[in-house]
Amino acid sequence: DTAVSQTPKYLVTQMGNDKSIKCEQNLGHDTMYWYKQDSKKFLKIMFSYNNKELIINETVPNRFSPKSPDKAHLNLHINSLELGDSAVYFCASSQSRISGRAGETQYFGPGTRLLVL
Amino acid sequence: AQTVTQSQPEMSVQEAETVTLSCTYDTSESDYYLFWYKQPPSRQMILVIRQEAYKQQNATENRFSVNFQKAAKSFSLKISDSQLGDAAMYFCAWAYGQNFVFGPGTRLSVLP
């Protein structure tokens, strides 16, 4: 009964390939996020979805495309993988709605370590 | 733009002692939230403590407490009676709505 789950935990692939990372939350939250944590442990938000609608889209290459089939899922698809995409990707969720309270706690998945060779 | 700074890349503490991790932030908002997250070697991001900016009282969770100075935009974390299991990266974070900004992290080592 994991709150926020991600698959796979590890992903090793060749440059140029296309891959997806899946995220699911069973907390009933309205908002989901994708973060990238680089080798220096710096954590940066990539996307935020509220009720299947894109809210935050930070400056990331358009090779990265989030997809939210329903509010419990937010998948991350990456096209034409590059060496610099190697990182740990975290999914997170929070209860907040757009017009709701400020700064709801975010609950994180276990992370997906992506290694591009 | 909001920024969060953690000026101590690494800290160490003797087991059973107390350590304080620093965090400062910059924002023009008045109603926001602050968090400390812990990331042990397992990589899992674990919420340690949360502070609402409109509350003057400092948040406390067992051995973890914060010193929130709103005017100074400072939010330090104090860990009392440090345990080996406290060894981890600690991230300070600022949040308003869906905007979450993390600091660069402080790596805490606990010495036996």
Q: Which of A42, A107, A49, A102 is nearest to A76 (CA)?
A: A49
Decide if B45 and A90 are in contact by the 8 Å CB cutoff: yes
Mutate to test the interface with B, among A2, A30, A38, A41 (most CBs of B within 10 A): A41
Q: What is the rounded distance in angstroms from the CA atom of residue B64 to the CA atom of residue B77?
A: 7
- Structure tokens, B64: 């973890």
Residue pointed to by tokens 């998948």: A75
Decide if A102 and B45 are in contact by the 8 Å CB cutoff: no
Q: Which residues of B touch A50 (CB under 8 A)?
A: 98
pLDDT (0 to 100) of residue A1:
58
Average pLDDT, rounded, for chain B = 93
The residues with which B18 forms a beta bridge, in sequence order, are none
The larger pLDDT score, comparing residue A55 to residue B83, is at: B83
Decide if B47 and A42 are in contact by the 8 Å CB cutoff: no
What DSSP string describes B36-96? EEEE-TT---EEEEEEETT--SPPEETTEEEEEETTTTEEEEEE-S--GGG-EEEEEEEEE
- Structure tokens, A71: 């509010």
What percent of chain B is modeled with pLDDT above 70? 98
Q: Which residues of A touch B96 (CB under 8 A)?
A: 102-103
Given a cut of 70, whether residue B36 has pLDDT beyond it is yes
| pLDDT tens digits for range A89-101 | 999 998 865 544 5
Virtual torsion, Cα B109, B83, A41, B10, nearest 10 deg:
-30
| pLDDT tens digits for range B4-31 | 999 999 999 999 999 999 999 999 888 8
pLDDT (0 to 100) of residue B4:
95
What percent of chain B is modeled with pLDDT above 90? 78
pLDDT (0 to 100) of residue A99:
44
| Identity of the residue in B29, B98, B102 whose CB atom sits nearest the CB atom of A48 | B98
| Identity of the residue in A41, A48, A56 whose CB atom sits nearest the CB atom of B105 | A41
| Identity of the residue in A41, A102, A107 whose CB atom sits nearest the CB atom of B33 | A102
| pLDDT tens digits for range A3-40 | 999 999 999 999 999 999 999 999 999 889 999 999 88
| pLDDT tens digits for range B50-73 | 998 888 899 999 999 999 999 999
Virtual torsion, Cα B101, B35, A91, A84, nearest 10 deg:
40
Dihedral sign (CA A59, A106, A71, A91): positive
Given a cut of 70, whether residue A79 has pLDDT beyond it is yes
